[in-house]
Amino acid sequence: MEPSAFQYPTQPPKKNNLTPMLVVGGVLIVAVVISFLIIRQPKKVEEKKEPVVVENTSPSPTEVPKIDKKTVKIQVQNGTGTPGQAGLVVKALESAGFLADNIKTGNAETYDNKTTLITTKESFAQIIPDIEDSLKSTFDKFAVGSPNLGSTIEFDVVIVTGGKIFESPTSAPTSTSTPTLTVTPTPTP
């Protein structure tokens, strides 16, 4: 017999299955490295943002110190010619808290003032409303003098009274009637 040659079925030659595995393995390695780098990066701490403070660049009003009424030097000038009118003003100002020892009286240059004029040094302008309030019962018209008193003036405030003009008794009509006596009976019990 003849040696028979056993023939094995032919198999296709083996393909190299290594290439796809290398590709998948390389991708996995790259993914691991990238993940490692991301994890190892320092974490960004989210900063708490402070509110931004914006400064007001417009000037703020300077607080004017309150004036002590007892230290204010006042001159009252009688501008109507009415006797004792300046004295009434002094009493009204004294009731409002001004010190009578710091108030001087005198006569104005004219006696025909229809409006009471209040003039102050610039630093005393804040007390004008107080003066007007204290004199409202005596005078009905007020004006604020301008320009303000100069710094060389002895007084902080000058008030020139105005309003009803004084009428002298000689210009008033006189009565020449003689008094009559009237008797009224008293009831008896």
User: Domain spans of the chain?
Assistant: 69-166
If 0-12 CB within 10 Å is exposed, 13-18 middle and 19+ buried, where does residue 96 land?
middle
What is the model's pTM? 0.55
- CB crowding 15-31: b at 16 or more within 10 Å, else e: eeeeeeeeeeeeeeeee
* Model confidence pLDDT, tens digit, residues 62-74: 676 788 889 999 9
Per DSSP bridges, beta strands 103-107 and 74-78 are: parallel
Q: Do the bridges between strand 142-144 and strand 157-160 make them parallel or antiparallel, or are there none, so unpaired?
A: unpaired
Q: Yes or no: say if 105 and 90 are a contact pair by the CB < 8 Å rule.
A: yes
Comparing CA positions, the residue from 102, 128, 104, 126 lying closest to residue 116 is: 128
pLDDT tens, 131-145? 999 998 888 888 888
Instruction: For 151-185, write each residue's pLDDT tens digit.
Output: 788 999 999 998 866 544 444 444 455 555 555 56
Q: Residue 134 in contact with residue 105, Cβ under 8 Å?
A: no
Looking at the domain 69-166, which fold is it? Alpha-Beta Plaits (3.30.70)
